[in-house]
Structure 1
């Protein structure tokens, strides 16, 4: 409005810049609240009146037309500001409810579970969402720490609903089933009840104990990355992959358990295909094995954050698929190995 006033005074009364004073309340209605819009509108009317008197525009209809334009734009901007603020409040309420629901579905993992240090990185491909079609859970039981990481086919609300069923079934079975195969069978039955057609969930279920190392059930999921204390990297795979969850009704047998050595100083990274299938500008996949050195930090959360930042940089700043990474680090001997998880 100041620029319009300076230009109007400099150009003279015949230039016709007077109605442009309405730009003030127009922009105020876009970015400010209704009070600010009203104040700017009053100032615009006062400025328009002063410029109209200076230009002698009120001898004809030009001055009154300019005043009417400013008043009309002010009223429209005020209404727009009121409606926008109302929508912002509704969106804030819905977002807070969604965040609570998302935290109930996928809780933060404990920093310590049994003989493990744990860290989690989760990135949803859906804007403004905390969760998507990937799922995870860490449960400390008397038989060891049981873990699941999975990836639901598809995106959106349907994928979140399926993830909720699978995670809920795992949480119950992890405490109640004495054998890991029993946990997998219950999770598979739950998935078969909710998945229809060709929908499925790839999953990796594991049990980790100080004496037995790590035992896995692989339902068509990418293999974990095992990083030894000496820096050696390998991707242990089963002798034969099983069908993903939801497709098990077409197979006679479920996955066969396979064991992986896991001792003090070792690390296991469980992840979803959103990590390994992230592409850069040259359409090259993310080289996870070559980035294992990023997990050397003594703090597992800082180590996983470094890996996540590198993944995001590789993808050009934006991941186009849900990506979950769960880092399990064997605690050094002498640090304790109780089965009670430590809350965040």
Structure 2
């Protein structure tokens, strides 16, 4: 099969012919229909993830069809159209059986722990616990992002923060995950203020449902937190109910926590290069919650997929670029550029 392979970190990947994979007893092989180009793929390629072994095939957001299944697979059939969370659980531990496979200690991740979906085929382990059936009539562009950015944002807002309708949310960082969080918050009936240093990113945030926007370019964390609070001062003078850091910076986290109302919830999605210092005295005094969101278990997908089927959430609107597999190596390198394209890029393997 054709696959995008890199055998050195940060060296240009190559489109190669490699042996097609085979499924283990509990796993499946999927013919990839489309796959996402995600910032996490770039982190893996740059050597920021200790799970990567070389040579390697990236890719963890996908939609496709089961082309072969191991003897132990009971719930899915050959030909079925599916997607998968980027965090796949073992299916047997207490975390998996309670519906929390995203924290399984024996998790696997396509594109990280083994070859991923920037290829014509990809293996998924423990298929019965991890595959998610998707409707035939949903376009690939509406499904690909459900594997990572939309799933992580949905899990953080709906499950971890238990976001309710008419609550206020501040999203710090309006890249792929941040825009996904804005779209999900609006689909759940919340009001959103978006924070970024890029006018173009804030324009996208407004397009996807942010009621207010704050440019943080010249603001320190204390000023930024106060500016965010001011956006909804007429209805929520004590601060916003939920904040999301989708960027992974200490200063934005401090600003986010500073903008929370008493009993507010902060959701941390952005990955950090080092351990941040946060305002724990404020967390204690106002009984704030600081919540992590690391993917989403397959068990939580029905509500998310229903939002897409109903048209209340349109992940396809975030897709700005569709490329072929032969263009993927250049797309990997481009993610490290300040002029990287906005929105979501997907690789269409049917082209």
> Whose helix proportion is higher, 1 or 2?
1
Larger Rg: 1
TM-score normalised by structure 1 residue count? 0.26
